[in-house]
Amino acid sequence: QSALTQPASVSGSPGQSITISCTGTSSDVGSSNYVSWYQQHPGKAPKLMLYQVSHRPSGVSNRFSGSKSGNTASLTVSGLQAEDEADYYCSSYTTTNTYFFGTGTKVTVL
Amino acid sequence: EMQLVESGGGLVQPGGSLRLSCAASEFTFRSYWMNWVRQAPGKGLEWLANINQDGSEKYYVDSVKGRFTISRDNAKNSLYLQMNSLRAEDTAVYYCARSPPAFDIWGQGSMVTVSS
């Protein structure tokens, strides 16, 4: 068992768009529509940003969008804002009824 | 407001045991799968275990299988994690979280420190 692979860091200027990738295998991301994304600010609990690849919970900005192709899922944040600076984690349900989280990506707003 | 509140964390010696609790409020607890997720200091999230609505199905990550046990009491709207044979590498903030289709409600976390 191992975590899903994310880039360690991504940065962008205010107003720009960034994309975070999340690469797994055919036993998790590649075979599951239960791929979700979480935002975590320092010292806080994670917050659900997207579920089932591309669905936004109520209250989450439409600047956050998601997609999946094969074994890789992606989170795009458009119109980057200072408040978006945080750690982001993907997660996927697996074929063995367990979950994996991604390694995490630190987003910096320049 | 739907809420999860963890309790039971603290300092424990290597090889010791600890039981975490998670109290749910303002949603129908018995209708949901529940999970435990942890985060070691400065590290990423690690899913540990989940349990179905009536407690008949439980799944664990390999690193805690045989040492940790997840359980629930629907009458008390509570989730538990019994942790035995604790190791230094189990030091982390432990979160309970509701699912599926994703972990949509999280508790504030309970810190567990394993040290002599």
A52-101 pLDDT per residue, tens:
999 999 999 999 999 999 999 999 999 999 999 999 999 999 999 999 99
The string of pLDDT tens digits covering residues B45-74 is: 999 999 999 999 999 999 999 999 999 999
Q: How far apart, in whole angstroms, are the C-alpha atoms of residue B109 and residue B107?
A: 5
Q: pLDDT, tens digit, for every residue of B5-53?
A: 999 999 999 999 999 999 999 999 999 999 999 999 999 999 999 999 9
Distances (CA, A) of A86 to A77, A107, B113, B115: 12, 5, 25, 30
Report B:23-42 residues touching A (Cβ under 8 A).
Answer: 35, 37
Nearest to A45 among B44, B57, B108 (CB): B108
Q: Are B70 and B36 in contact (CB under 8 A)?
A: yes
> Dmax over Cα atoms in chain A, in whole Å?
41
Peptide bond between residue B100 and the one before it cis (omega within 30 degrees of 0)? yes
Burial of A42 by CB count in 10 Å (0-12 exposed, 13-18 middle, 19+ buried)? exposed
Yes or no: say if A22 and A6 are a contact pair by the CB < 8 Å rule.
yes
Cα(A2)–Cα(A103) distance, integer angstroms: 9
Sheet of A18-23, strands arranged across: A18-23, A72-77, A64-69
Across the interface, whether the CB atoms of B44 and A101 are under 8 A apart is answered yes
The answer to whether residue A1 scores a pLDDT higher than 70 is no
The predicted structure's pLDDT at residue B101 = 87
Q: What pLDDT is recorded for position A64?
A: 98
User: What residues in B contact A99, CB-CB < 8 Å?
Assistant: 35, 47, 50
Distance CA B97, CA A82 (A): 27
